[in-house]
Amino acid sequence: MIDFQPSDEQRLIVETVRQFATSEIRPRARECSEARKLPDDVIARAHELGLVAGALPSANGGGGERSAITSALIAEELAWGDLAIALAILSPSLVALPVADFGTPEQQRAWLPRYTADRFVPGSLALVEPSFRFDVFHPATAARPDGDAWILDGEKCFVPWLAGDDSVLVIAAEKRVPQAFLVPRDAEGLEATPERNLGLDALPTVELRLRGVKVPASARLGGARGADVASLVNRGRVALAAAAVGVARAAFELALAYAKQRQAFGAPIATKQAIAFKLAEMAIEIDGARLLAWEAADRLDRGLPALREAALAQQQAQRVALEVADGAVQVFGGHGYIRDYLPEMHLRNARGFACFEALSLV
Amino acid sequence: MALEQMRPISRRYDVLEHEPPREWIDFFWRHGRTGAAGSEFDGDSDGMVQICVQAEQLCWGDAALYLRMPTPALGGSAVAAAGTPEQKARFLAGFRGDGPPVWGAMAITEPGAGSDAAAIQTTARLDGDHWVLNGTKIFCTSGESASQVEGGFVVVWATLDKSAGRGGIKSFVVPARTPGMKLVGLEKKLGIRASDTATLVFEECRIPKENLLGRAEVKKQDPKKAGDKGFKGAMATFDASRPIVAAMAVGVGSASLEFLIEELARQGVAIRYDAPRCDRSAIERDVTEMEAELQSARLLTWRAAWMMNKGRPNSLEASMAKAKAGLSVTRITQKAVELLGPPGYSQKLLVEKWMRDAKINDIYEGTQQINQLIVARRILDYSSSMLR
């Protein structure tokens, strides 16, 4: 009835990704954040692991192993290494998975091979809008028909904009129903402005302005049938919840190690209950949030409605990530505030989970 | 069972407090022990997840009536954890038979020793073929029934040697109505009022030598390494009991939260999971937070239980579940009273009762703080002397 045991294959994947995050991602996290630049060599090597390609249909050259739980496990491990680099590595999922889920056969043939090829091709999804009133299920960005074509108007933000791709998947509402459109980056009326945010320093993102951007009917994901954007939102929430757990775990482990090493009043500060209990609470909350993310992922894998579970998992994980990251800064004391150490970066990244949607998909 | 047998009498036995809920006891003894629930209440670790699911559902009905059920309860867990096959057969027999209802209980806490179990003052000394117990035990759940009704038993923690600290502490099975075991009082409590919480005094109370759980040797250096099932066995009881208590907490929390959501819906306040942040009311935000907290506690509980089923060490996970469930359900039930407004505070509804019932889960079977301490020691890899 209930099982908390990852399969042997999942354990192998977790082990591989954890190893990669430890040896390749984590050592580059600070330097990339300061330089506001992604480590292209790391991303190229991560691509060789086939983390996104593995989930794509085998008919299109993928591994055919689609599992939201496996993707959540991967997202946690990568985000434990570094959130910005993790989101870059997983960015192909932003286009590849929606195309795999909803694309017409022609769209799948045209769009999927690039994600299973030898060279890394990033993905770009424009969903969030720069507004206090942003409603993910009813975006203000509009798509209206114009003969055989579609005209898109609106504004987007937090759009990953990695070099090496020439398109972006834009979510826009036809009347009230959101749909997805594949738009060339050089389309007329499309204007991209680089962003600087509180966190995610190394990940290039843009604010997109769409003014009368015209795309052909073939650009509409799923053709006449369209796409179930709500399911993409749920999948994005599970991915973000898992990534938030990864960030929280990273911050927690730093705090734990530091507390055992840092001496005060003649003993490690971890021997004080004020610190030890904070660490215990972090550990409990992280495990609880992870289980919520897994539960939501499991529902996705079983084709059950997951709106509620995905929303709760994201809500809990973002709260836990923020509290744990803040706690880690606190445990480090003054050092936590200094950019020589990682906790301040985790705190800035963690806050983002309250604002992000679909920066990665499961 | 929870809906049809427990809920209708929930308020009545809360008010009557020390009155045994006869119809519930008889109903459980006749129908509750059989079928799917069958063997699970004998403290065996098989089907631990199922035990937790049942505990949650029954405590959704009424946590106090759940505690009042004629079962071996924690006494059974202690026998299951540290007893020999012969002891298990002997002490648990009455719970399987056709005789009248019987109860088990565990007596650890003393006036001067709660969380610090090693400070126990109750003594046990060997006199010929018998152990002789002397001391006072308080807060013994089901202690009245277990000590007074023939066929039941109380597992009593006592020390063979006060100078040995926890190494000297053993657990002993005292059959009901053993001369020298006296029921001297019942507590009046904040909640779980239908459950009897007894004070038991032991005066030259003699029990057969074979009623010791584990071995009699006292290891002064390191009881953990001694391979003794005494103190270690007694502590292992908690690995089984904490997930159950966590599940009980989740049951009370879900009773409260479900009622709140239904009542809000009746008043036209729906909880939306797809509304943008700026449109969500404070109540919606509170309720979804309560839901996430409750489900988080539930999943941690099932994980700890599942590990026990798999035969894996689960002390860390059991304490995590207990700490999380105890605290979050305490908060959830308090919040439910607040959100329901004046009716929430009124005894016309059960919401105020659930708030009172919930609080005990953050105290017994290891307080919030004790479980945090256990988690902290484990994640830091510190001994009890390094993190005190």
Distance CA A21, CA A253 (A): 14
Answer whether B302 sits within 8 Å of A4, measured CB to CB. Answer: yes
Nearest to B376 among A230, A276, A292 (CB): A276
Q: Is A19 inside any structural domain?
A: yes
Residues of chain B with C-beta less than 8 angstroms from the C-beta of A285: 296, 324
Pair A184, A75 in one domain: no
A contact residues 228-247, partner B, Cβ 8 Å cutoff: 230
Helices A229-261 and A273-301: crossing angle in degrees, nearest 10, is 160
**pLDDT for residue A227:** 98
Pair A14, A78 in one domain: yes
Residues B155-165: pLDDT tens digits?
999 999 988 88
Pair B216, B286 in one domain: no
* Domain count of the fold of chain A: 3
Pair B120, B210 in one domain: yes
Looking at residue A51, its amino acid is L
* pLDDT band at residue B257 using 50, 70 and 90 as cut-offs: very high
Phi, psi of A118 (to 5 degrees): -65, -35
Q: Is A362 inside any structural domain?
A: no
Residue with tokens 């018998």: B130
Pair B301, B316 in one domain: yes
Pair A191, A263 in one domain: no
Pair A35, A147 in one domain: no
Phi, psi of B29 (to 5 degrees): -65, -35
CA B112 to chain centre: 20
- A317 → chain B, closest CA residue: B292
Residues of chain A with C-beta less than 8 angstroms from the C-beta of B386: 271
- Beta-carbon neighbour count of residue A186 at 10 Å? 8
Looking at residue B230, its amino acid is G
Q: Is A271 inside any structural domain?
A: yes
Q: Which residues lie across from B207 on neighbouring strands?
A: B131
**pLDDT for residue B227:** 45
Check the CA dihedral B373-B377-B378-B380 and report its sign: positive
Q: Is B99 inside any structural domain?
A: no
- Containing structural domain, residue B25: 2-72
Can you read off the two tokens belonging to residue B212?
A: 């010791």
Pair B267, B331 in one domain: yes
Q: Which residues lie across from B200 on neighbouring strands?
A: B137, B183
- Containing structural domain, residue A341: 229-354
Distance CA B287, CA B260 (A): 9
Pair A332, A274 in one domain: yes
Q: Is B91 inside any structural domain?
A: no
Largest Cα span, chain B: 76
Pair B171, B155 in one domain: yes
Per residue in B207-246, is it b (16+ CB within 10 Å) or e — as a string?
Answer: beeebbbbeeebbeeebeebebbbbbbbbbbbbbbbbbbb
- CATH code for position A275: 1.20.140.10
Distance CA A215, CA A133 (A): 27
Q: Which residues lie across from A274 on neighbouring strands?
A: none
pLDDT along chain A (362 residues), means of 10: 87 97 98 97 97 94 94 98 98 98 96 95 97 95 96 98 95 96 97 97 98 97 96 98 98 98 95 97 98 98 97 98 98 95 97 95 96
Phi, psi of A153 (to 5 degrees): -140, 135
CA B329 to chain centre: 15
Answer whether B299 sits within 8 Å of A283, measured CB to CB. Answer: no
Q: Is B151 inside any structural domain?
A: yes
Pair B168, B289 in one domain: no
The strand pair at B197-208 and B181-186 is best described as antiparallel
**pLDDT for residue B46:** 62
Domain boundary among B229, B253, B287: B229
Answer whether B292 sits within 8 Å of A315, measured CB to CB. Answer: yes
Rounded average pLDDT over B37-42: 43
Pair A213, A267 in one domain: no
Distance CA B181, CA B160 (A): 18
Angle (CA) B272-B275-B277 rounded to 5° is 120
Q: Does A328 touch chain B (CB under 8 A)?
A: no
Give yes or no for a contact between B123 and B162, defined as CB atoms under 8 angstroms apart. Answer: yes
- CATH code for position B163: 2.40.110.10
Answer whether B276 sits within 8 Å of A135, measured CB to CB. Answer: yes
Can you read off the two tokens belonging to residue A129?
A: 């809008």
Give Cα separations from A239 to A90, A358, A362, B277 (angstroms): 10, 8, 6, 19
Give yes or no for a contact between B284 and B271, defined as CB atoms under 8 angstroms apart. Answer: yes
- B287 → chain A, closest CA residue: A312
* pLDDT band at residue B240 using 50, 70 and 90 as cut-offs: confident
Q: Is B167 inside any structural domain?
A: yes
Q: Is B277 inside any structural domain?
A: yes
Question: In sequence order, which residues have a C-beta less than 8 Å from that of residue B131 and are 6 or more positions away?
Answer: B124, B125, B172, B206, B207, B208, B209, B211, B212
- ipTM > 0.90 (yes/no): yes
Chain B residue set in contact with A, beta carbons under 8 Å: 49, 273-279, 288-289, 291-293, 295-297, 299-300, 302-303, 306-307, 310, 317, 320, 323-324, 369, 372-373, 375-377, 379-380, 382, 386-387
Give Cα separations from A88 to A81, A160, A162 (angstroms): 12, 8, 8
First to last CA, chain B: 44
Pair A21, A112 in one domain: yes
Answer whether A2 sits within 8 Å of B386, measured CB to CB. Answer: no
Nearest to A288 among B275, B289, B324 (CB): B324
**pLDDT for residue B12:** 97
Domain boundary among B166, B200, B229: B229
Pair B221, B238 in one domain: no
Pair A107, A134 in one domain: no
Pair B24, B145 in one domain: no
Distance CA B193, CA B374 (A): 29
DSSP secondary structure letter of residue B191: S
Helices A68-81 and A229-261: crossing angle in degrees, nearest 10, is 40
* Domain count of the fold of chain B: 3
Nearest to B273 among A291, A308, A316 (CB): A308
Domain boundary among B209, B229, B249: B229
Give Cα separations from A307 to A69, A290, B103, B178, B287 (angstroms): 16, 17, 45, 58, 16
Q: Is B276 inside any structural domain?
A: yes
Pair B126, B185 in one domain: yes
Looking at residue A205, its amino acid is T
Pair A348, A235 in one domain: yes
Count of residues for chain A? Answer: 362
- A284 → chain B, closest CA residue: B320
Distance from CA of A152 to the nearest CA of B (A): 22
Pair B367, B244 in one domain: yes
Q: Is B321 inside any structural domain?
A: yes
Q: Which residues of B are catalytic?
A: 365
Can you read off the two tokens belonging to residue A132?
A: 């206090």
- Beta-carbon neighbour count of residue B148 at 10 Å? 15
Q: Is A359 inside any structural domain?
A: no
**pLDDT for residue B326:** 98
Report the SS3 class of residue A206: strand
The strand pair at A125-126 and A167-174 is best described as parallel
**pLDDT for residue B36:** 37
Distance CA B246, CA B196 (A): 20
Give yes or no for a contact between B340 and B351, defined as CB atoms under 8 angstroms apart. Answer: yes
Q: Is A3 inside any structural domain?
A: no
Pair A271, A315 in one domain: yes
Question: In sequence order, which residues have a C-beta less than 8 Å from that of residue B282 and are 6 or more positions away?
Answer: none
pLDDT over 80 (residue B117): no
DSSP secondary structure letter of residue A362: -
Q: Quote the radius of gyration of chain B (alpha carbons, Å).
A: 21
Q: Does A257 touch chain B (CB under 8 A)?
A: no
Phi, psi of B146 (to 5 degrees): -65, -30
Pair A159, A239 in one domain: no
Rounded average pLDDT over B216-224: 65
Q: Is A2 inside any structural domain?
A: no
Give yes or no for a contact between A75 and A90, defined as CB atoms under 8 angstroms apart. Answer: yes
Nearest to B375 among A136, A283, A289 (CB): A283
- B319 → chain A, closest CA residue: A284
Residues of chain A with C-beta less than 8 angstroms from the C-beta of B380: 256, 259-260, 270, 276, 279
Answer whether B276 sits within 8 Å of A276, measured CB to CB. Answer: no
Pair A152, A107 in one domain: no
Pair B183, B240 in one domain: no
- CATH code for position A185: 2.40.110.10
Pair B127, B43 in one domain: no
Q: Does A260 touch chain B (CB under 8 A)?
A: yes
Q: Is A360 inside any structural domain?
A: no
Domain boundary among A65, A86, A116: A116
Check the CA dihedral B170-B176-B178-B181 and report its sign: positive
Looking at residue B293, its amino acid is E
DSSP string, B33-92: SSGGGGGGGG--STTHHHHHHHHHHHHHHHHHHHHHSSS-HHHHHHHHHH--HHHHHHHH
Nearest to A276 among B302, B303, B387 (CB): B387
Question: In sequence order, which residues have a C-beta less than 8 Å from that of residue A267 and are 6 or more positions away?
Answer: none
Residues of chain B with C-beta less than 8 angstroms from the C-beta of A249: none
Residues of chain B with C-beta less than 8 angstroms from the C-beta of A313: 292
**pLDDT for residue B217:** 81
Q: Is A224 inside any structural domain?
A: no
Q: Is B131 exposed, middle or buried (0-12, 13-18, 19+ CB in 10 A)?
A: buried
Domain boundary among A219, A247, A282: A219
Distance from CA of B352 to the nearest CA of A (A): 26
Answer whether A271 sits within 8 Å of B379, measured CB to CB. Answer: no
- CATH code for position A86: 1.10.540.10
Residues A106-139: pLDDT tens digits?
999 999 999 999 999 999 999 999 999 999 999 9
pTM of the predicted structure, to 2 decimals: 0.93
Phi, psi of B300 (to 5 degrees): -65, -35
- CATH code for position B280: 1.20.140.10
Domain boundary among A96, A116, A136: A116
Q: Is B385 inside any structural domain?
A: no
Distance from CA of A113 to the nearest CA of B (A): 34
